[in-house]
Amino acid sequence: MRAREAARIQPRGHAMRYAIVTETFPPEINGVALTVASAADGLRRRGHDVEVIRPAQGGEAPGSGAGSLRVRGCPLPRYPGLRFGLPCGRRLLAHWRDTPPDAIYVATEGPLGWSALRAARRLGIPAATGLHTRFDQYMRSYGLGLLEDAALRWMRRFHAQGTVTLVPTRELADLLARRGFAHVERLPRTVDCARFTPASRDPGLRRTWGLGPRDVAVLHFGRLAPEKNLGLAVRAFHAIAQHWAGPGRVRMVWVGDGPERGALEAAHPDHVFCGLRTDAALARHVASCDLFLFPSTSETFGNVVLEAMACGVPTVAFDRGAAREHLRHGIDGACVDDDAAFVREAVRIALDDDRRLHMGAAARAAMEALDGDAMVGAYEAALMRIARAAKPELPRLAGVRP
């Protein structure tokens, strides 16, 4: 089903009951948490009853209420701000036996996700899974490359327990199909163009970075972690600085937090480190920059690419994930295949004011053309479809085949 067709689907007089199972959820800040929260909010706006099952966070206690079931969790190693849910199969069996959802969506492959899939299978509840993280590729970033194939087998076994596996790009859907994953479907992503907008650009914020109107702020935003290939962003910025001959100055700006932040700050005291920013503050920081460097090669998507483009910031990224789907090389920024091209294109765009301005305007226009409700519509269609397959008596949504 095409994204725009999926986005037009609306419940026809029958609200469904869905459960979304995730190890991470706001106020935690990462792409998975924010994507899952958007899906939950969107389904609720369409009239569905949505319960989010997640680990208890911060000072919370396990329990239920306000549309969520909170289970016991533990801190994630090397990410003290994140938690993973402990196995809770018996609790989910009891909970769903009393109030079974029509379908569940399992967003993460941790112990909580495994418990949810096993409980759903025992109770006959249809389940969709989402592949948001390439754990197999993360093995290399953490010096565990020999475990890459084992991680892929583990992921395949996990997702085989669901009726369908939802992924954000055609590229990933094709790759997983070749690797033996069954029933993989693309679920489109969009961006909030009202929040991420060039209008958020703030000259006052730029002045706190020591930058004026003619200076160039080179941005990286997102989690500062080994799998993000941050060293390449540093190399590209140094190349820009070496070639810089403009009337102003150029400066590297980092927005985000993570285990690599301390080492980066110690090694580059002349860079600007803004820490974690969210919502309007994040949009203000992104829109106040002039070029976004996204060197990660392990993303299933990369929401930050769309957010930078929506802010009118040209982007240099590898030709995969969100960049392959949406970033037009030479028009909105640069899609590259290797490190040398990444550095070369970063320098070329950074040193050309007119090129940056035209690319930023084109990137913004491309994001405005996206169907903002496509992702929620696709979630709704997928969950309704698997629910109907399990319970054929459920009413149909217009445009959804049984």
125 shares a domain with 36: yes
pLDDT tens, residue by residue, 154-164? 888 999 999 99
| 33-42, 329-338, 388-397: which is most confident | 329-338
Return the residue matching tokens 């972690």. Answer: 225
**Per the domain annotation, does 397 fall within a domain?**
no
Outline where DSSP puts E strands in 141-215.
Answer: 164-167, 184-186
**Distance between CA atoms of residues 217 and 286, nearest Å:** 10
Taken in order 210, 216, 222, 227, the sign of the CA dihedral is negative
260 shares a domain with 338: yes
128 shares a domain with 8: yes
227 shares a domain with 344: yes
Return the residue matching tokens 């203000």. Answer: 284
**Per the domain annotation, does 158 fall within a domain?**
yes
pLDDT tens, residue by residue, 5-29? 333 334 444 789 999 999 989 988 8
Please state the φ and ψ torsions of residue 315, each to the nearest 5 degrees.
Answer: -130, 140
Phi-psi region of 351 (alpha: psi -120 to 50; beta: other; left: phi over 0): alpha
pLDDT tens, residue by residue, 175-211? 889 989 989 999 888 999 999 999 999 999 999 999 9
Q: Report CA 212 to chain centroid distance, whole Å.
A: 32
**Per the domain annotation, does 306 fall within a domain?**
yes
Omega within 30 of 0 (cis) for the link into 27: yes
Average pLDDT, the chain: 88
Please count the structural domains in the chain.
2
221 shares a domain with 155: no
User: Which residue range is the domain that position 132 belongs to?
Assistant: 3-190+371-390
**pLDDT of 400 above 50:** no
List the alpha helices (DSSP H) in 218-259.
Answer: 230-243
262: domain CATH number is 3.40.50.2000
**Per the domain annotation, does 396 fall within a domain?**
no
23 shares a domain with 107: yes
181 shares a domain with 43: yes
State the amino acid at position 361 in one-letter form. Answer: A
380 shares a domain with 358: no
- Residues shown for the chain: 402
213 shares a domain with 129: no
**Per the domain annotation, does 398 fall within a domain?**
no
79 shares a domain with 122: yes
